[in-house]
Chains A and B, each alone.
Chain A
Amino acid sequence: MTWLVALSAILHREALRFVGQRSRFVAALVRPLVWLFVFAAGFRAALGLSITPPYQTYITYEIYIIPGLCGMILLFNGMQSSLSLVYDREMGSMRLLLTAPLPRWWLLFSKLLAGTLVSILQCAAFLAVAAVWGIRLPLVGYLVVIPALLLSGLMLGALGLMLSSFIRQLENFAGVMNFVIFPMFFLSSALYPLWRMAEASPRLRDLCTLNPFTHAVELIRFALYGQANLMAALWVTVALAVFSAAALRGYDPARGVQNRKG
């Protein structure tokens, strides 16, 4: 019961912060919309797409990048919430959380879940704007995508949590953002299918297939068409387990690197 009370309080706090920080919501929404309306329009002519699952016919580039842009929202939010953890820790409120009389893994999971639910709301808003613009997906996809977004969001949030546990200062974090977000996003199937990448460089394609973000995007892509991509789900789950374990280790007072004197 105590655990659920704490979880509910952490979710409530995140919801209040979300409502209170409308500019953050708008910024998170504008980013993928710019990609959708500007970048995709430019690339539509340059990039030919063949019919590959889950698509059963030729699709426009805008439709192709919708799952990748949902992934982008999750990726940026995962990193942003971990940025707030670094900030929180510098400011002290993370101390408050970590000194609560509950298992640390539960407190961190609650924080992770709260951030992911906010990301899902942002993805919903993004998909709604896209639908108004005429980019519509099968109705069942809008439901099936929710667990895919949850799993992917938790995985990317756990990655951010892991990074935040090893990073002491905001300045360092800014550098890591560049070395994590951009490589993860561009070395994935978010913007171009992997067979296209293979034509350019098989090695780059291999890197893309190792990137857990690629699998998150593919999980979302299939889910948006009401289909399960089990291999992608497995990859994302394994990545979630690895990142979570590393984050827990990082936040363990006996073993973590937090103990380094700042």
Chain B
Amino acid sequence: MTGLSVSGLSYSYGAKVALRDVSFSVPKGQFCALLGPNGAGKSTLFNLLTGLFSTRRGQITVAGIDFARHPRQALARMGVVFQQPTLDLDLTVRRNLLYFAALHGIAGAEASRRADTALAQLGMAERSGELVRSLNGGHRRRMEIARALIHRPDCLLLDEPTVGLDAASRHAITDHVHALAEQGLSILWATHLTDEVRDTDHVILLHQGALIASGTAAGLRGPASLRDTFLRLTSGQTGEGAE
């Protein structure tokens, strides 16, 4: 079963084309890395996938549900970690989770139970009562991932979730999300950092709004490193490039 499927998706900001006929799918249990330099269209794609933008050109389905026709049902099956922090800094970790659970219609004892489970899975149980403001960047990100899983989605979208984190936190979060894929979740992980991608991961490469390569990381890179492959395929693109 396909967790996430995108077909013929296009989007423009006025005359400027941001996405051009993008198609890909992420099956259940797959970690799919969406690689692209800054300005490639990753954030626009995420805004379309989460319904913050909409377009009539192309189709998005989440767990088999057509997003355009049933946006609420599709959103209910999707967990999202945005690039920008979306936590309420002045509320506790637990209160943030309960707020999000309630937005998905989960309340009372069930919400508490799910919040406890989510925090335990991310190794955050002891921080449940702390204000989010007091957490470091790595813990805040872990918490956002815990929150995105509280309604038990079929697919998880993460938009450059490791930006601004130190190497240890990046490593821990990347490992954890790979483990989630092994448990059956469809993962779409947008990044421009090639060291977060494993050889067995599926990679789709977005460049100047178009999908220019797709396949396993090992297959795409061949004998070269993924970083060199990425730079070669996106050469001429300004931005930070790969690390």
Query: Which A residues form the contact surface with B (CB < 8 A)?
Result: 1-2, 5-6, 8-9, 12-13, 16-17, 20-21, 91-93, 95-103, 253-254, 258-261
Per the bound structure, the CA–CA distance linking A92 and B103 in Å amounts to 16
* Chain A, Cβ-Cβ closest to B68: A254
Q: Name the one of A16, A91, A101, A253 contacting B73, with C-beta atoms under 8 angstroms.
A: A101
B82 with A92: CB separation less than 8 A:
yes
A5 with B84: CB separation less than 8 A:
no
Q: List 21 A-B contacts (CB under 8 A).
A: A5-B107, A8-B107, A16-B90, A16-B95, A17-B88, A17-B90, A92-B86, A93-B86, A93-B87, A96-B103, A98-B52, A101-B71, A101-B76, A253-B51, A253-B53, A254-B54, A258-B53, A259-B13, A260-B13, A261-B16, A261-B18
A16 with B91: CB separation less than 8 A:
yes
CB distance from A41 to the nearest CB of B (A): 38
B95 partner residues in chain A, CB cutoff 8 A = 16
B72 CB within 8 Å of chain A:
yes
Decide: A13 near B99, CB < 8 A? Known: A1-B105, A99-B50, A102-B72. yes
A258 with B76: CB separation less than 8 A:
no
Total interface residues on B, CB under 8 Å, equals: 32
Interface centre among B13, B75, B85, B102 (most CB of A within 10 A): B102
* Chain A, Cβ-Cβ closest to B75: A101
Decide: A101 near B104, CB < 8 A? Known: A92-B84, A261-B18. yes
B54 partner residues in chain A, CB cutoff 8 A = 253-254
A13 with B91: CB separation less than 8 A:
yes
B53 partner residues in chain A, CB cutoff 8 A = 253, 258-259
By Cβ-Cβ distance, the 6 closest A-B pairs, closest first, are: A2-B105, A9-B102, A92-B84, A100-B103, A101-B76, A92-B86
B100 CB within 8 Å of chain A:
yes
B91 partner residues in chain A, CB cutoff 8 A = 13, 16
Per the bound structure, the CA–CA distance linking A97 and B104 in Å amounts to 10
Instruction: Provide the main secondary structure of the chain A interface.
Output: helix
CB distance from B79 to the nearest CB of A (A): 10
A91 with B52: CB separation less than 8 A:
no
* Chain B, Cβ-Cβ closest to A20: B90
CB distance from B63 to the nearest CB of A (A): 13
Q: Name the one of B80, B85, B102, B105 contacting A99, with C-beta atoms under 8 angstroms.
A: B80
CB distance from B94 to the nearest CB of A (A): 12
* Chain B, Cβ-Cβ closest to A102: B72
B33 CB within 8 Å of chain A:
no
CB distance from B116 to the nearest CB of A (A): 18
A99 with B104: CB separation less than 8 A:
no
CB distance from B223 to the nearest CB of A (A): 39
Decide: A100 near B104, CB < 8 A? Known: A16-B95, A254-B54, A258-B52. yes
B98 CB within 8 Å of chain A:
yes
Interface centre among B13, B98, B106, B107 (most CB of A within 10 A): B107
A100 partner residues in chain B, CB cutoff 8 A = 75, 103-104
Per the bound structure, the CA–CA distance linking A1 and B108 in Å amounts to 13
CB distance from A186 to the nearest CB of B (A): 34
Decide: A6 near B102, CB < 8 A? Known: A93-B87, A95-B86, A261-B16. yes
Q: Name the one of B13, B52, B76 contacting A253, with C-beta atoms under 8 angstroms.
A: B52
Per the bound structure, the CA–CA distance linking A100 and B53 in Å amounts to 14
B102 with A8: CB separation less than 8 A:
yes
A95 with B84: CB separation less than 8 A:
yes
Extra pairs beyond A1-B105, A21-B90 (17, CB < 8 Å): A5-B102, A9-B99, A9-B107, A13-B99, A17-B88, A17-B90, A92-B86, A93-B88, A97-B103, A98-B51, A99-B80, A100-B104, A101-B105, A102-B72, A102-B103, A253-B51, A261-B13
Interface centre among A5, A16, A91 (most CB of B within 10 A): A5
B86 partner residues in chain A, CB cutoff 8 A = 91-93, 95-96
Per the bound structure, the CA–CA distance linking A108 and B126 in Å amounts to 34
Q: Name the one of A1, A2, A8, A96 contacting B100, with C-beta atoms under 8 angstroms.
A: A96
CB distance from A193 to the nearest CB of B (A): 43
B85 with A91: CB separation less than 8 A:
yes
A254 partner residues in chain B, CB cutoff 8 A = 54
A261 partner residues in chain B, CB cutoff 8 A = 13, 16, 18
A2 partner residues in chain B, CB cutoff 8 A = 104-105
